[in-house]
Amino acid sequence: MELNDGSIDPPMIPLSFPLTEERIRALRVGDEVECTGLLFTGRDAVHKYLARGGALPPGVDLRGGVLYHCGPVVLKDPDGAWRVVAAGPTTSAREEPYQADLIAKFGLRGVIGKGGMGERTLAACAAHGCVYLHAVGGAAQVLAECVKRVRAVHFLEQFGAPEAVWEFEVDRFPAVVTMDAHGHSLHRDIEAASRAKLIKYRV
């Protein structure tokens, strides 16, 4: 697509889950991706539970998978099928105490959220071959349209719907690589640039 300045917008990079380390290490900060496959949600409760030694439900394998920081709004239709009506990202910083351990322990290849994460998670991404993907905030209903089917839900009674682990089959879910597997973080760069400007204006 041609932009207003005459340049060409690069095409979105398709990512199919589960992911290989080779595929992840080919990505760089700034890459725009479209995700297709099985996506797992997880927020505060399940991060704490797994980091403290809790076990995954039988049959759930996160190796090569992607964990989405999301507390979706999901309704059950009269026929018993689950329907996702909102699936926007939640702030990822709350999971910083746990994320690096989960990446290492469960072989995650991607984390989706908003706002970015810290140095410990960035180091784990570089060490184990994982990326952080930034999803669009404020577009929960639009992102829900990318969820084609709810395959399963876990910990629903234990944690409640927003904190449960939902298995979503997604198609062309859009996101941007903002932390890659090579130690680069767009969030860190923006913070450093902003700090430098603040110092400049204070002088």
Asked if 120 contacts 168 with a C-beta cutoff of 8 angstroms, the reply is: no
Residues forming the active site: 47
Q: Where are the beta strands (DSSP E) in the chain?
A: 13-16, 32-41, 66-68, 73-76, 82-86, 110-113, 131-134, 147-154, 165-179
Phi then psi for residue 100, to 5 deg, are -60, -40
Cα 186 to chain centroid, rounded: 15
Cα 179 from Cα 147, distance rounded (Å): 24
